[in-house]
Amino acid sequence: MSRAAVSNGKGVLYVVATPIGNLEDLTPRAKRILASVDLVAAEDTRHSRRMLRHHGIERSLVSLHEHNERQVMQRVIDQLESGRSVALISDAGTPLISDPGFPLVRECHRRGIRVSPVPGPSALVAALSVSGLPTDRFCFHGFLPRQQAARRERLEQLRGEPATLVFYESSHRIAGSLADMAEILGADRPACLARELTKQHEEILPAPLGELAGVVATDPLRRKGEFVVMVGTAPEAGRSQRMQEADRVLELLLEELPLRQAVALASRITGENRNRLYEQALENKNPG
């Protein structure tokens, strides 16, 4: 049994963040925990073994990825139930952030197994911290749907979201996604593209969406690597005009429909945030 902490006679599941590019970004605490647990559950064991070896760590690894997650979970749970401690890592960054691990963490909570975070890199936070876009309110949407129709529909739903939007994207789809974002969210929306963070070809491109879509469409080098796309809220003038339109649609629907139905429909028609419309509808009903 390892030197890692044991709680209630059960082991601890450590959820450990690992580098998103630069291997020096593994924290000293992550190193100590990874070197002391009985088992490391990793997405791609070959990739993770290389990363661990780089830090002089040799541990037994079990592969836990999106296709075998439920089967392997039982094996990991058995280890934890018998007092052994396990570290969950993914190929890069923080597990569960667009990465496997959610069913395992939920099952640990269900069984009273302690789950402890070992925080560190995540492309989401790293990108936001350098984007120059507002970070007081942001909404993470992971990867957009692969199919263009579904992707465009999702973007339509997000048009009125009053927060900085954050997406992960791959090199295969970055050009198409940026083109759709510029068309649906608005070419003048402030945005930032973070490419290959912490790696040799790191690039942070703050520019309106239309410009970003153009740059990526015309330069094949800019389509290489891993990406985080961040989109700020619509410029104030356009936004308030859209809000006024949404309020007018809401007012008309409220004349014909019950409040909830009117709000839902107005939100679908205009892309405006449902909660804001709900508050507006209550205000219309009880002015002052």
What amino acid occupies position 155? Answer: L
Shortest distance, position 213 Cβ to ligand SAM, whole Å:
17
Task: Identify whether the C-beta of residue 39 lies closer than 8 Å to the C-beta of residue 14.
Answer: no
Count of residues in the chain:
288
- Closer by beta carbon to ligand SAM, 97 or else 130: 97
- Closer by beta carbon to ligand SAM, 88 or else 228: 228
Shortest distance, position 201 Cβ to ligand SAM, whole Å:
10
Structure token pair of residue 109: 């909570």
- Closer by beta carbon to ligand SAM, 204 or else 257: 204
Measured distance CA(122)–CA(88) in Å, rounded? 15
- Closer by beta carbon to ligand SAM, 10 or else 173: 173
Shortest distance, position 135 Cβ to ligand SAM, whole Å:
16
Measured distance CA(261)–CA(254) in Å, rounded? 9
Shortest distance, position 253 Cβ to ligand SAM, whole Å:
38
Binding site for ligand SAM (CB under 6 A): 20-21, 90, 92-94, 97-99, 122-124, 168-170, 194, 196-199, 226-228
Nearest position to ligand SAM, beta carbon: 93
Region of residue 196 (phi > 0: left; psi between -120 and 50: alpha; otherwise: beta): left
Contacts of 154 (CB under 8 A, 6+ apart): 141, 144, 145
